[in-house]
Amino acid sequence: DSGVTQTPKHLITATGQRVTLRCSPRSGDLSVYWYQQSLDQGLQFLIQYYNGEERAKGNILERFSAQQFPDLHSELNLSSLELGDSALYFCASSVLGTGELFFGEGSRLTVL
Amino acid sequence: KNQVEQSPQSLIILEGKNCTLQCNYTVSPFSNLRWYKQDTGRGPVSLTIMTFSENTKSNGRYTATLDADTKQSSLHITASQLSDSASYICVVPISGSARQLTFGSGTQLTVLP
């Protein structure tokens, strides 16, 4: 158990819909990262937050947005969903200093 | 361009055998290299982090090596077990920053009984 909690574990929705994925980082970790992993693909960095502020952006689509709340949990919002958005979405939090990432178990999104 | 390339793409071995996975990187400047294990449908789990000054690091039956001159790393698995079946991912941060990680595409290891 990495200590990073993601909900929901599975989500099935239709094209054009909007979903929200939630992540609670490990206790004490201020940084939260979001990654997308499509079928048989590597992890693609989406966005990072540190203590409530956006720190870095990767290949995140304009239809996607995220935020980190004062209690440090984070949400990734995916809108106008397309079939190609079907993927595993991972959240990770990091230890200050070493940068080692601890990943959650992921949210599997299926867009039909 | 910062890249991390892993080989082989997939590997099948028998239980009890050893194997070695390779990682070549062109990320610069280099600060550390990480190996993660990802079981199917699960989140990646850190196996080891190697800094510039470390040549070898072990974690149980896993031994990682690093040659910063040739920009190569290997992950050696000794006496493989069925539970070693997973994807092994090599990750290198850009400029030592966790937020700028370059992920390899992974080696899919299958251990057969």
Kindly report, residue by residue over A79-101, the tens digit of the pLDDT.
Answer: 999 999 999 999 999 876 556 88
What are the tokens at B59? 């974690």
pLDDT number for residue B95:
61
- Look over chain A and give the mean of its residue pLDDT values, rounded to a whole number: 92
**What tens digit of pLDDT does each residue of B41-95 get?**
899 999 998 888 889 999 999 999 999 889 999 999 999 999 999 999 999 887 6
Chain B, residues 83-102, CB within 8 A of chain A, namely: 89, 93, 96-101
Considering only the beta carbons, identify the residue of B32, B96, B101 that sits closest to A45.
Answer: B101
- Find the residue in A nearest to B49 (Cα): A100
Asked if residue B37 has pLDDT above 80, the reply is yes
pLDDT number for residue B3:
85
pLDDT number for residue B102:
83
Long-range contacts of A93-96 (CB under 8 A, 24+ apart): A93/A3, A93/A4, A93/A23, A93/A25, A93/A26, A93/A29, A93/A31, A93/A32, A93/A33, A94/A29, A94/A31, A94/A33, A94/B98, A95/A29, A96/A29, A96/A30, A96/A31
Return d(Cα A48, Cα A74) in angstroms, integer: 10
State the pLDDT confidence band at A34, using cuts at 50, 70 and 90. very high
Return d(Cα A31, Cα A50) in angstroms, integer: 4
Mutation site for B-interface testing, chosen from A10, A43, A89 by largest number of B Cβ within 10 Å: A43
Chain B, residues 37-76, CB within 8 A of chain A, namely: 41-46, 49
Measured between beta carbons, the chain A residues lying within 8 angstroms of B34 are 100
Q: What is the mean pLDDT of residues B29-37?
A: 88
Return d(Cα A53, Cα A68) in angstroms, integer: 7
Q: What is the mean pLDDT of residues A11-17?
A: 97
**A87 contact partners, CB below 8 Å, separation of at least 6:** A36, A37, A38, A39, A41, A108, A109
**What tens digit of pLDDT does each residue of B4-22 get?**
999 999 999 999 999 999 9
Most confident of A10-14, A44-48, A56-60: A10-14
The torsion of the CA quartet A44, B45, B82, B14, rounded to 10 degrees, works out to 60
Nearest chain A CA: its distance from B106 CA (Å): 7
Measured between beta carbons, the chain B residues lying within 8 angstroms of A41 are 105
CA atoms within 13 A on the CB side of A58: 17
Asked if residue A42 has pLDDT above 90, the reply is no
- Find the residue in B nearest to A89 (Cα): B43
Q: What is the mean pLDDT of residues A65-76?
A: 96
Q: What is the mean pLDDT of residues A36-45?
A: 86
Question: DSSP for A11-37?
Answer: EEE-TT--EEEEEEPPTT--EEEEEEE
Considering only the beta carbons, identify the residue of A2, A48, A99 that sits closest to B93.
Answer: A99
Return d(Cα A87, Cα A64) in angstroms, integer: 14
What are the tokens at B95? 């400029």
Return d(Cα B25, Cα B83) in angstroms, integer: 27
B8 prior amide bond cis, ω within 30: yes
Return d(Cα A101, Cα A39) in angstroms, integer: 22
